[in-house]
Amino acid sequence: MIRLSWLISLAITFFGFLIVNQLFETEVSGTTGNLGFICMIFLFPFILLSLFTTFRYFLTVVRIGKNRGKWLVIYGGLLLTAFFLYLFMDMKNSIGASLFEISEETGQLYFDVYTFGLIHSISGVLGALYGSFNPKTQEIDERPSK
**Residues 69-85: tens digit of each pLDDT:** 888 888 999 999 999 88
Question: Is the residue at 25 inside a domain?
Answer: yes
Question: Is the residue at 90 inside a domain?
Answer: yes
Question: Is the residue at 122 inside a domain?
Answer: yes
> What is the chain's Cα-based Rg?
19
What does the DSSP 8-state code read for residue 126?
Answer: H
pLDDT of residue 108: 65
Question: Is the residue at 17 inside a domain?
Answer: yes
Question: Is the residue at 41 inside a domain?
Answer: yes
pLDDT band for position 2 (cuts 50, 70, 90): confident
Question: Is the residue at 18 inside a domain?
Answer: yes
Question: Is the residue at 145 inside a domain?
Answer: no
Ranges of H-type helices in 26-112? 36-64, 67-95, 104-110
Over range 20-24, report the average pLDDT.
76
Question: Is the residue at 142 inside a domain?
Answer: no
> Which range of residues forms the domain containing residue 73?
2-133
Over range 13-31, report the average pLDDT.
75
Number of domains in the chain: 1
